[in-house]
A and B are shown apart, each in its own frame.
Chain A
Amino acid sequence: MSGVETLGRVLPVVALRQRRGWLRRALRTGPLVCGSAILALVVIIALMAPILFPGNPNDMVDVPAQWPGESAATPLGTDSMGRDVAAGLAYGARVSLLVGISSAVIGLLIGTTVGAIGGYFGGWTDRILARLTIIFQTIPSFLLVIVIVTIATPSAAIIALAIGVASWPTVARLVRAQYRSLRAQDFVMAARSLGYSAPRIIVCEILPNALPPIVVTTSVMVANAILIEAGLSFLNLGDANLISWGSMIGDGRALLRTAWFLTALPGSAIALTVLSLNLIGDGLNEVLNPRAGKE
């Protein structure tokens, strides 16, 4: 520590270069690069879907149950209703990412608010919010999502909302722990002695310091949301108007013996996307770890 300190005093430039070091370290960490590459591919396919496959992916385009390579028009084959599997995968990526990201945002908003308020103020505010968090956490999230979706109409927006509502307790607990330890730090004491308001301290002073683990959790939350959405669609509880990886697996299940690729292809898509998000989470954890950063 003292060695670094001396260096910084003599040559502030060294310190500056160290600051950019995190980028290089990020690039060097394999998981983050791998994960980002896979996810980038999925995102590009999702964005390009209307260009690559201009028609409606629910339309019948060819003979049903064609194997990949059998027809030039449908390189990844067709399902039992003659729909193009490749188009389904591309449009399914849109649904998965959209639901995954928006539900993670909803979960983050609720969880961060509850966790930050409870953790910063402590006392009975914290006790009430912590109880609420635990109550929500004891409900199996998949069942909660099913209940919400069956009560409301199963549209993509409702599904995202439901998954967000089911997933915030994890964030709340994490954020609460962060705030509890950070609020005792001297820089928060200093902010209070300078007369900063509680909202300012919570948002402007503590939140930026609490962010790294939240960012890491977010990637895992997106992955979980994608899995839940796939599960819902598999059970036919998804948005009926949209083609999704989960519904493709569900439809392909009937032909599992004769045309296993109908299950395997969307299954691999889910696995790869979830894997990429977990890799990103791991990589970010490595990069944002405060201990690694101070060396």
Chain B
Amino acid sequence: MSLLSVEELHTSYVSKHRAVAAVDGVSFDIQRGETVGLVGESGCGKSTLGKTILRLLNPSSGSIRLAGTEIADLSQRGMMRHRHRIQMVFQDPFASLNPRQTIYRLLDTPLRVHGLRDRRERQQRITDIVTRVGLSPDALRLYPHEFSGGQRQRIGIARALILRPDLVVCDEPVSALDLSIQAQILNLLADLKRDLSLSYLFISHDLAVVQYFADRVLVMFGGRIVESADHHALWHTPRHPYTKILLQAVPRANHPRREPAEPATARAAAPTESGTGCRFRHRCPAAIARCATEDPTLRRVAANHLAACHLA
């Protein structure tokens, strides 16, 4: 059984006049111990997808199964029992820690909320997790603003792990950090995954980071997954034109860029302009007549390799 199984998930933002489908029919699985990367440009719905899986946003339809249990239609109260199994590391380590609470309190409250009465045991778990993320227990009495960005993200990770989750959704956990700090945090996440047998859904707009980190990569565009492949296949034989463009945009050290990255088609595809046909066709260098009429579905193009393109 997959640890997480998402099927035909839709999430919409409803404003006064219209509804925008930010996640528009997404299906994927995460196995135990797997790190799945989720890449795509800003506004493609990847953060919304992550937040929907945690039920911080309510899906408009579809199914989310966590180790076999359907959680898409649970009430917030019913969700409470499952919260500890799936946690999140946020992008901005400045905004995601309550500035008025000490680190001890930040880590202690989740344990108390989840019914751990024994004070000594809580203390032990807090010290343990703080040490694991590479902070000294002295840090516990300080406030978030007394730490650097990298240290704060360590605290954010500690908080996500304090309830001993199975799955951690990392929403761009390093994109707010200096390059030198990014590597430290990524290494830390990799170590923690090994030691605590975690699974990650790793959301990022940075393919280089995902390449380093993920076993399997999902490429998202306009609220949908357009390609899904293991990390090697995606890197060497990308099938979807959007993935190809993304890969071309990644700077490489050893050989110069073969051709200029994406030409002047910077216009982001709004998820609303779905209508008919492939939603990438306006930016696609290879679009054909069929793309305007028929929306490509995600289909198998090789073993463990899915792509949503007529030409793949």
Contacts and interface: CB of A to CB of B under 8 A. Distances in A.
Interface stretch (B85-93, B191-199, B275-283): B85-93
Nearest to B95: A186
B51 interface: yes
A199 to B, nearest CB: 12
B122 to A, nearest CB: 14
B109 A196 contact: yes
Instruction: Give the secondary structure class of A's interface.
Output: helix
A195 interface: yes
A70 interface: no
A209 B144 CA distance: 14
B145 interface: yes
Interface residues of B, number: 34
Given A6-B148, A190-B90, A195 B110 contact: yes
B47 to A, nearest CB: 11
B148 A5 contact: yes
Interface in A176-211: 185-187, 189-197, 200, 204-205, 208-209
Interface in B75-119: 79-80, 83-84, 87-88, 90-92, 95-100, 109-110, 113-114
B159 interface: yes
Interface residues of A, number: 25
Interface stretch (A9-17, A75-83, A250-258): A9-17
Nearest to A185: B95
A55 interface: no
Contact of B96 (A15, A186, A196, A197): A186
Contacts of A9: 147-148, 150-151
Nearest to A293: B145
A189 B56 contact: yes
Contacts of A189: 51, 56, 88, 90, 96
10 contacts: A6-B148, A8-B148, A9-B151, A16-B146, A186-B91, A187-B95, A187-B98, A193-B83, A195-B114, A200-B113
Given A9-B150, A9-B151, A185-B95, 5 more contacts: A15-B146, A187-B99, A189-B56, A208-B100, A209-B99
The 6 closest A-B pairs by CB, nearest first: A9-B148, A186-B96, A195-B83, A208-B100, A186-B95, A15-B146
